[in-house]
Homo-oligomer: A and B are copies of this chain.
Amino acid sequence: MITGKNYIGQELSALGETTFKTFNPVLNIENKTEFVEASPEEIDKAVTLAASAYMPYNQKSGAEKAAFLNAIADEILALDDLLIETYCSESGLPEGRAQGERGRTVGQLRAFADLVAEGSWVDATIDTADPNRTPAPKPDLRKMLVPLGPVVIFGASNFPLAFSTAGGDTAAALAAGCPVIVKSHPLHAGTGELVASAIAKAAKATDMPNGVFSNLNSSDIEVGVQLVQHPQIKAVGFTGSLKGGRALYDLAAQRDEPIPVFAEMGSVNPVIFLPEALQNNGAKWAKTYAGSITMGSGQFCTNPGLLFGIKGKELTDFIQQLSDEILKVEPSCMLHPNIIGAYEKNKQTALNQSGLMVAAEHEGDVALNFARQTVTVVQGKTFLENGKLHQEVFGPFSMIVECENTAQLQTIIANLEGQLTGTIISDGEELSQYPQVIANLQTRVGRIIFNGAPTGVEVCPAMQHGGPYPASTDSRFTAVGTQSIKRWVRPFSFQDWPEGLLPNELKRENPLKINRLVNGIVTKTTV
């Protein structure tokens, strides 16, 4: 059932000459299917088809788009065990995680289906005419959000379902009315093809224009580069490394017509442990954070890689408690030999920095491709002076920074790079003594957490997933939750436009019964 071919709209195609295979890191063997990279001609064909699908797809109603999204969810579920087995064999992640992620993926698709079926998300705004106004009559103006055009989505290595082929970015873009071309992630190309087949089936069953979705294989950067540079591509979504995201951003910015790139990149997710909290509940927090640091082998963008405390007995005890707890965790398999290779290399680079000490590192035997979790300690001054210690080590690694005092903590926080999240662990009244630390942290992150862990990203309207650069290329949008649809649209105004030609969202009678801002008041009534 997995062919190794590309989906160019409804057509399976394999004209390219480069092939590659995916890898099972648990068994440490290559998987069987040979995937064929998309050729330049296939890339151009997919984009041209997407461009031709743009207008007919855009003209589908919200209800029709919702039916398409729900059909994708149904078809993904229909893939059943084959999808779960392929997922596990290409990621080394356990079955429970695969099932959970499938649930989240299907849930996201249905949430976007509900959003567009209801329809108010287009922010319809109507200001009616006043022909008698002086000195000039006031025209009738009606505004709504419209899709940007064909977009390219780069799947994430660490979420083979929820942030890949039919993940959050794809669901949001399809919901917005943008045809999508997925640059399939080479680590899970089989999972990608299966999900692509589900999307293709759903598109056919719900009568969507051919080209509304394509899935292109690629093991290297060429396919992505050609896609981002194609003049008919209007936006890009990406989840991955800072290096990869920045490269795409630069390509997009250098086009004749620059286009937006929504890249969700690295983050070390700083956590500040205040003394009273450590004194009262150090053991509890050590257990929670040992779990958070090693969850999914540390392969989450919200992994807590940087822990701050103020020097003293409470922090010394906590370092011991966390070290004890983290050594109790069973090591787990990383996604790919290259990923664990990068983990070992980046960890070593950090450990080579003067002043960084290992507090705990798993020392027993581990299977091939399993990561040894590691907790390190460094002094505040050393951390402040060495930018290399601020870099993410993707994997089950965390660094505890011992700050001399509140002033040093405050300075360090002010000098952090942009992050997805920031967390404060605090007890009783102590938080009120750190207003400037909190204020500084707020300027550096997209989400701030009290007495919790950054891992476990809730999918809901109030979630912000995205932060100041380099956490994201565009902190003004979220990558999680239905608000992420706003990345793929632009406002469009109709002035004195004939009623009969207006889209339903803006017609006088409000046939879709959506919320609209009419002359400054939110209402569902007729104009």
Residue of B nearest to A476 (CB): B490
Bound Cα distance A489, B466 (Å):
13
A259 to chain B: closest CB distance in Å?
Answer: 8
Q: How far is the CA of A319 from the CA of B167 in the complex (A)?
A: 54
Q: Are A126 and B462 in contact (CB under 8 A)?
A: yes
Q: Does the CB pair B141–A439 fall under 8 Å?
A: no
**Contact for A491 among B127, B258, B464, CB less than 8 A:** B464
Chain B residues, CB < 8 A from A143: 461-464
B448 touches A497 (CB 8 A): yes
A498 to B431, CA, bound (A): 10
Closest partner residue, chain B, to A456 (CB atom): B136
Name the contact of A253 in the complex, choosing from B253, B476, B489 (C-beta under 8 A): B253
Q: Does A55 interact with chain B (Cβ within 8 Å)?
A: yes
Contact residues in B for A491 (Cβ distance below 8 Å): 446, 464, 466, 476-478, 483
A496 within 8 A of B: yes
> Is A125 an interface position by the 8 A CB rule?
yes
Q: Which of B456, B458, B496 contacts A451 (CB 8 A)?
A: B496
* Contact of B447 with A493 in the complex, beta carbons under 8 Å: yes
Contact B492 A442 (CB under 8 A): yes
Chain B residue, CB-CB nearest to A147 = B443
**Given A125-B461, A260-B474, A460-B141, A496–B450 Cβ distance below 8 Å?**
yes
CA gap between A446 and B144 in the complex, in Å: 11
In the complex the two chains form, is A142's CB within 8 Å of B462's CB? Answer: yes
State which size class the interface on A falls in. Answer: 35 or more
- Of residues A55, A141, A517, which shows the largest number of chain B Cβ atoms within 10 Å of its Cβ? A141
Interface centre among A439, A451, A476 (most CB of B within 10 A): A476
Contact A127 B260 (CB under 8 A): no
Complex CA–CA separation, A442 to B126 (angstroms): 18
Q: A449 contacts the other chain (Cβ, under 8 Å)?
A: yes
Residues on the B chain within 8 Å of A442, using CB: 146, 492
Judge if A411 is at the interface, Cβ distance under 8 Å. Answer: no
A243 to B54, CA, bound (A): 30
Are B450 and A495 in contact, with the CB atoms below 8 A? Answer: yes
Is the beta-carbon distance between A447 and B495 smaller than 8 angstroms?
yes
**Least Cβ–Cβ distance between A53 and chain B, in angstroms:** 13
**Which residues of chain A from 422 to 461 have a CB within 8 Å of any chain B CB?**
431, 438-439, 442-443, 446-452, 456, 458, 460-461
Contact check, B476 vs A517: say whether CB atoms are below 8 A apart.
Answer: no
In the complex, A275 has a CB within 8 A of chain B? no
Which B residues are CB-close (under 8 A) to A439? 55
* Interface membership of A23, Cβ < 8 A: no
The answer to whether A498 and B462 have CB atoms under 8 Å apart is: no
CA distance A143 to B447 in the complex (A): 9
Task: Evaluate contact between A520 and B461: CB separation under 8 angstroms.
Answer: yes
Pairwise interchain contact B260-A249, C-beta atoms closer than 8 A:
no
A473 CB within 8 Å of chain B:
yes
Within 8 A of B (CB), among A112-157: 125-127, 136, 138-139, 141-143, 146, 148-149
Pick from B54, B258, B451, B456: contact of A473, CB below 8 A: B258
A496 to B453, CA, bound (A): 11
Return the CB mask of A475-514 against B: 1 if under 8 Å, else 0: 1111000010010011111111110010000000000000
Q: Is A250 an interface residue (CB 8 A)?
A: yes
Q: Which residues of B contact A492 (CB under 8 A)?
A: 442, 446-448, 464
Asked whether A452 lies within 8 Å of B249 as measured between CB atoms, the reply is no
The answer to whether the Cβ of A396 comes within 8 Å of any Cβ in the partner chain is no
A257 adjacent to chain B (CB < 8 Å)? yes
Separation of A464 and B478 alpha carbons in the complex (Å): 23
| Minimal beta-carbon separation of A125 from chain B (angstroms) | 4
Which residues on B sit within 8 Å (CB–CB) of A451?
Answer: 496
Kindly identify which residue among B139, B418, B452, B498 contacts A452, using a CB–CB cutoff of 8 Å.
B139
25 A-B residue contacts at CB 8 Å? A55-B443, A127-B461, A127-B462, A141-B458, A141-B460, A141-B462, A143-B462, A148-B475, A253-B253, A257-B469, A257-B470, A258-B469, A446-B490, A446-B492, A448-B494, A449-B495, A451-B496, A458-B495, A461-B520, A462-B493, A462-B517, A464-B491, A476-B489, A478-B491, A522-B522
Which 6 pairs from chain A and chain B are nearest by CB? A253-B253, A141-B462, A464-B493, A447-B493, A449-B495, A143-B462
Residue ranges of A at the interface with B (Cβ–Cβ < 8 Å) = 54-55, 125-127, 136, 138-139, 141-143, 146, 148-149, 249-250, 253-254, 257-258, 260, 418, 431, 438-439, 442-443, 446-452, 456, 458, 460-464, 466, 468-470, 473-478, 483, 486, 489-498, 501, 515, 517, 520, 522
